Each structure stands twice: as structure tokens, then as C-alpha cells.
Structure 1
Amino acid sequence: MTVHHLSRRDAQRIAVRAQLLTRARPGDVVETVRELTLLQIDPVKAVAPAQHLVLWSRLGSSYDTGELDRLLAERTLIELLGFIRPGEDIALHLAQMEAWPAPSRRDGRLRPWQEGIARWVEANDRGRRAVLAHLEAEGPTLTGALPDATEVPWRSTGWTNDKNLGRLLDLMVARGEVAVSGREAGQRLWDLADRVYPDVPTLPLEQARQVQDERRLASLGLLRSRSQECPVEPGDARTAGEEAVVEGVGGTWRVHPAYLDPAEPFAGRAALLCPIDRLVFDRTRMEEIFDFDYVLEMYKPKARRRFGYYALPVLDGDELVGKLDATAEPKRGVLRVDALHEDGVWRAARRERVLEQVHDLAAWLDLEPELPAHLGG
């Protein structure tokens, strides 16, 4: 079996190319989502909601946020467990829904956390049936208008603690019983899953997982074969792709063969990234491949922030090179830039490329850029 030996720059270029961040931009929203496989939904509006910011970074200021809303309304795209995915991809999730909680262990046994949530859903069966009966009779309903007949509270050390109805609804999505049919003022609108999802055949569970692995690897270019388990969106490739090692980085990787000998030479550009953009979402992978120091600091006290409340990672070519501390202030009509943190020494041409993106971001938001004096403000 061939093991591909990649330099750090090879790895960086594979990752950037796979995430559609080269000079050749994708054609439209549908193409972008299909290639990326997903958009993570996050309502934080320090600059713009994550799903829109990711699309802007690929498509530029011509991207119209209303297009995403339209595609969701017509089911070309669907919302599934906090991610926007191509509608046809529901075929990759149906078998897992039918087998819920589908074992992920090689011996076919459930993990302890899976057994725990299964017991919790069973204990709240009356609440689950109340939701299904309401939706059957009333149709699409906002979360706040659904009956909450849960009897056993959800316990967690995180923000979901005691969020009983919301957690039950998420698990009912995982079971294929209900689905998000839309949003109103940020609140989810629910309906029965078979009224929302496209009518597509179910793939066998293991085949569906293999296709998901291939598509995930194609969208990221380079992944570990195994990583810490994540119940919603795995961070590894299992056996998809081909084995590779990256110079200066320990362990083995899986690389998608499409990026090993591309038809076109790499042509990079500058881009401002959402803090949960898939290029940087896995912070360990980000540090290993790009040697980039970054953390989202919105949950830190102000005095402990180095980069800013919602600093945007800065990409230039095949390198992550800095962070932009910016805030959208629609009432003032400005995109306020507090700092541009430059990693290392920037040449004037790099700074100019990045500032062009700042101006493009402001134009897309229909705001005026408000820059510090040393950046031309």
C-alpha cells in the first residue's frame, strides 16, 4: 500500500483547496454547500451569523443571504441537528435514524453515553408522544408552542442542563421522527420528519457511513483516520482516501486522492474566516497543519482576550497569518475594526490583500469600514 509523503505546505494547500478558498471561487450557494457538505448554524451576530459568513468567504460580496433562506424553504437544503446540508444527503442519515442509537463500536455494542440517552428518551416517552401528536394535528409549530410533557430532566454540565424539551427534540431528530421545517425570528419551527425531508431511498447503514466518510474527506482534503468521537459530525475519515504522513507532524493521515495531483496549480487568495469555519474548527488539526495560534475568546473575560471577542482568522494563500478583531454595528452603519493582529512580519502586499477583504466584508454587510488610523482609517 502506497503511503503519500506530504510536506507541510502540501498539507496546507490540500486543506485550503478542499475548502473552496482558492482564487477559483465556487459558482453558487448550492454548489458551495454540496462541496463543503455542511454549514454550521450559529446565531452569533458579532459580525454575521456563521452560516452566512462562511458563504461570504467563498462567494464574496455578491452573496445574498436571502438565497440561503429560499433554498431552505424549498428543501434544496435542509437543517439537520444544527447543520445545513444538501437535501439529497438525508439519504446518508436515514439508516442511522432508523437504527438509533446506532452502535459506533466495532463490536456492535452501544457506548455508555448512547445507552444513557436511550434510557432518558424512554423515560420521557410520554413527552415524545405528546410532541408527535401535536405536530400530527397542528402542523408546523415553534418550539415555544410545543407541549412539554417531559418528566425526567436532562442533566448536563453544559448549557443544555435542564433544557428538557429542546434536548428531546434534538434526539427526536436523531431518531428521524421530527425535523426543523424553518425558523422564525431565530426560533425553530418543527414538523414531522416525513413532511420535511425529501423522499429518497435509505442506504444500508455501513454504506451510508462510507459515503459520509468519503464526502467529509473530500470537503476537508486531509484528516486523521481516527479522532475523538463526536456524536453529530465525526472529525475523522476512518478508511476513506489513502494513507499519508505529513512532514513534521506525527501519526498517519488520510488524504483524498483528488488533491494529490490536481489539474490546476495552486492559486491562493486572501480570506477572512468565520471562527467556526471548517478550515479552523478542529483546533488540533489547525495547529498541526498550519502552526496557527488561535482561540475563540467570546467566552473569556475581556481582560483575558488576546485577539478580540469574535476575531476572524485571516488566510493568505496557503497560510493562516493573523486575526481581524471586528464588530458589525448596524445602528451606526459601520464595521468597526479594533485591531488587525499580524502573525510575523507582513509585507505591504499582504496587508493590502487583507484590507481589500475587510472592505468587501463591509460592503456585503452594507456598512462603512471604520479602521484604525494606521490601517488607513
Structure 2
Amino acid sequence: MTAVPGPEAELSLPEARDLAIDASLPADGFPNVTAALAHLHIVQLDSISTLARAHQLTLTARIPHSTTTCIDQALYNRTEPVAFDYPAHALALVPLADWPLWAFRRRASRRRPQYPDQKTRATLFDRITAEGPLPLRRLRENTAAGAGWDWGPVKTAVEFLLWSGDLASSRRTGGQRLFDLAERCIPAEHLNDDLTDDECLTRLLTHAGTALGVATADDLADYIRIPTAIAVRLVPRTGLIPVRVQGWGPAWASKEALTSPPRRSRGPMFLGPFDNLIWHRPRVQRLFDFVQVFEAYKPAARRIHGYYVCPLLADGRLIGRADLARKDETLTILQAGFEPGAGPDTPTHFADACRSLAAATTRTRIELADSAAEPAITRRLRTTLALNGATPHGNR
């Protein structure tokens, strides 16, 4: 077993929080999608679009003056793709250059009982070879498979062939993934499984540490969805620096995070529920004393905060949350809440974050539901939204 070195730095909780925010959301942001992906290495995908797609919210939060439309143009409307879809942290966008690092998961996928048999593989490969990249609905034609969320035999086969690297997806049509032979969409210089499992994992844990800034072994493991015990074994090989964080126990920080003083020039913002900064709920609780929940898949009667809830980040804290949706040209606040002790500036921060999100999702109006919060908070928000130039409207 690799010996765990002693801590080289002591961090207070506020210092750790600043490092984490600055690592995930640098003050100056990133110039483009390629740069943001190269830093985060994983950007989660999700099919819910009530506000915007998950990857669009994550990337617009990090690329100044970007919109959800220009994000997808930068990803998919270009001659050469910049990323592929892969079950990294759930299904996610991964930079093309990282293909070799996921060889450990591709190998493991080929050993799983769900890996398609030779006949099934040959049938799918022959069709894609002949017809080119195809969406799942086309691959399901002439079969008894269901649609949508149904994991019938075709969907199961295609998803496992994506996991194993026999197929890859780097483009979309009408929002649907296009599945192609890996050798036709992954550049030849990246298309290999040469690295050992430990080499893959050590490099991925290093990337996770850079993206997180400061993290426990459990946080690093969650970033790439591996057992914590593996992260504990390998993290001493990564070059991440052992630190002690107030109330945490053993932790690790990137050299960049420790040597670059955090800067807080970013304004208030709503984080998408699949944002990298708030992926791991235990870490969010440790960093922000904030209980992050996602209730979209719960029955409506069991939801506390709403369907598509975005936490509000301002002044280095998570100070509130809102259930948000878009319809036509309007960004609608369906439900809003402030954290205890959020402070008197919270309504102003909330309004500023609404305006930024409306611009990012190309909405021209902001609407506040009459039942969004208790009457006193609703009145304050309605007033503040008006003062900040938004157009507040109640439900009609």
C-alpha cells in the first residue's frame, strides 16, 4: 500500500471554499468551449430541457457572454468535433484527447455480461458502416424495442458498445446522439487503449484534483465514478498536494489552487443542478453547509424546492435556490427560497443572477410566479427584479 504523506498545508474552511470555487469557476472564465472542457475534463449531459440542457448551463456559467445556442454551435456545428459522449461522471462530454484515459472503463465494459454478443455487434456495425452515423431511433427500426427511456435490447446493446468504445458519439442531430464506429469519429492519435488501468486512473484523478481545487479522496473518486478505495490507493501518485482542511480529515489540493490566490470577480449566478461544483452532495454540505437536492424525478407532491432547482452562488456562498423554467421568451421563477442567514443583499443577488441566466438562455423577460415564495419574499423579489431592469409578472 502506498504511504499517505502528511499534510503540507493547513486550510480553513473559508479558504478551502474559495479554492474550490476558483478552481471550478475561474474569475475570468474560459475563452471558449474547448478551453472549458480541457479544464473540467467532464461536463455532464442530461435530457431534461425545462430550462436548458445540463451541459449548456455548465458551460455558459464558465464562458463569459456565451449563450446556450452558441454552446451547441461550438460543440456540434463544426467540421471537427471537440468532445465525445461517455459515461464518465454519468453520461458526459469528454474532450477527444482524453479518450486514452478511459481505456480502463472500456476494458471493464467488455467483461460485463451485458456486453453484446458477436452476432448483435456485427449487425449493428454492418448497418452503421453502410448508412453512416445513426440515432438510436433509427437503429431501433424494424425491432420490437420501445422508445424513450425503455432499455430494450437495441438500446442496451448500443449503450454498452458506447461504454466499450466500439461505438462513439461526437455529434447530434435534432438533439439526438449519433452513434458511429469509434475509428470514424475519434482521431487516430487518440484511438488507443495503451495505458494500464492504474495509469488511466492516476491521470484522471489528477484532472479531477485540478478541476476541484481541493478535495477528499471520496470527492476525487466521485468525479470519475470509481470506488473510493481505489482513489485512496492512487492519489499519492498524482502530484496532488496533501492538505488538512478544517473539519475534513485528509484532503488533497492541486498545486495551481494553492499557488494562485483565489479571485472573486464573478457576479452572482445560478448553478445548473448538474454543475461540476455541486455534483457530490457530501462535498457541497462540507463546503457550503448547503443541502443539495434534485427532485425532478420525485412525484410533485414530494418535492420541497421544485422540479428543476438551481442553487444561487454569491459572495462565495450558496445563499438560495430557485425552481426555474423557460417558455417562449420568458424565464419563469416558479419557486424561490433563501438560506438561513443569507443576508440583506440576497434579493439583489437573486435578481442579478436571474438577469444573467435570462441572457445566457436568450430569454427577454423574467416572470415571477405569485406563489414563488412566502408573501414577504415574493414582494421583495418583485420589487428588486423591477429595480434591476427585469420585467416581473405574476401568473396570469
- Per the normalisation by structure 2, the TM-score is 0.79
Equivalent of residue 340 in structure 2, options 340, 344, 348: 344
Tell me what 1:218 maps to: 210
Greater displacement, 345-354 / 184-193: 345-354
Residues 228 and 235 in structure 1, CA contact (< 8 A), matched pair in contact too: no
CA distance in 1, matches of 2:127, 2:271: 41
| Counterpart amino acid of residue 29 in structure 2 | R
1:226–1:150 Cα change, 3 Å: farther
Greater displacement, 283-292 / 87-96: 87-96
Aligned-pair distance for 1:306? Answer: 1.9
Equivalent of residue 56 in structure 1, options 52, 57, 60: 60
* 1:58 match: secondary structure: coil
1:227–1:362 Cα change, 3 Å: closer
Residues 5 and 246 in structure 1, CA contact (< 8 A), matched pair in contact too: yes
1:213–1:194 Cα change, 3 Å: same
Equivalent of residue 185 in structure 2, options 166, 175, 196: 196
| Counterpart amino acid of residue 335 in structure 2 | A
Aligned-pair distance for 1:164? Answer: 2.3
Tell me what 1:309 maps to: 307
Residues 91 and 200 in structure 1, CA contact (< 8 A), matched pair in contact too: no
| Counterpart amino acid of residue 366 in structure 2 | P
Give the length in aligned residue pairs: 351
* 2:67 match: secondary structure: coil
| Counterpart amino acid of residue 92 in structure 1 | L
Tell me what 2:86 maps to: 80
Give the % identical residues: 23
Residues 311 and 320 in structure 2, CA contact (< 8 A), matched pair in contact too: yes
Equivalent of residue 140 in structure 1, options 124, 129, 133: 133
1:12–1:326 Cα change, 3 Å: same
Aligned-pair distance for 1:148? Answer: 8.0
| Counterpart amino acid of residue 16 in structure 2 | A
| Counterpart amino acid of residue 278 in structure 2 | V
CA distance in 1, matches of 2:114, 2:281: 32
| Structure 1, unaligned runs of 5 or more | 103-113, 154-158
Aligned-pair distance for 1:374? Answer: 2.8
1:1-377 correspondence runs (5 A): 1-3=5-7, 4-20=9-25, 22-63=26-67, 65-72=69-76, 73=78, 74-81=80-87, 82-94=91-103, 96-97=105-106, 100-101=107-108, 118-121=112-115, 124-146=117-139, 162-201=151-190, 202=192, 203-205=194-196, 206-226=198-218, 233-234=225-226, 237=231, 238-239=234-235, 240=238, 241-249=240-248, 251-263=249-261, 265-267=263-265, 269-330=267-328, 333-367=329-363, 368-371=365-368, 372-375=378-381, 376=383, 377=392
| Counterpart amino acid of residue 127 in structure 1 | T
* Superposed CA offset, 1:223-254 (max 9, x none): 322479779644865413122232123x3222
Aligned-pair distance for 1:52? Answer: 0.5
CA distance in 2, matches of 1:48, 1:165: 28
Residues 61 and 361 in structure 1, CA contact (< 8 A), matched pair in contact too: no
Residues 269 and 356 in structure 2, CA contact (< 8 A), matched pair in contact too: no
* Superposed CA offset, 1:170-213 (max 9, x none): 21122221111422223221111000011215442232322211
| Structure 2, unaligned runs of 5 or more | 369-377, 384-391
Residues 26 and 32 in structure 1, CA contact (< 8 A), matched pair in contact too: yes
Residues 268 and 318 in structure 1, CA contact (< 8 A), matched pair in contact too: no
CA distance in 2, matches of 1:320, 1:212: 28
* 1:84 match: secondary structure: strand
Aligned-pair distance for 1:143? Answer: 1.3
Greater displacement, 67-76 / 291-300: 67-76
Residues 285 and 291 in structure 2, CA contact (< 8 A), matched pair in contact too: yes
Residues 305 and 323 in structure 2, CA contact (< 8 A), matched pair in contact too: yes
Aligned-pair distance for 1:26? Answer: 1.9
Residues 23 and 269 in structure 1, CA contact (< 8 A), matched pair in contact too: no
1:188–1:89 Cα change, 3 Å: same
Residues 12 and 289 in structure 1, CA contact (< 8 A), matched pair in contact too: yes
1:149–1:168 Cα change, 3 Å: farther
1:224–1:176 Cα change, 3 Å: same
| Counterpart amino acid of residue 353 in structure 1 | H
1:67–1:227 Cα change, 3 Å: closer
Aligned-pair distance for 1:327? Answer: 1.4
* 1:253 match: secondary structure: strand
1:231–1:296 Cα change, 3 Å: closer
1:128–1:101 Cα change, 3 Å: same
Aligned-pair distance for 1:285? Answer: 1.3
| Counterpart amino acid of residue 83 in structure 2 | L
Root mean square deviation of aligned Cα: 2.9
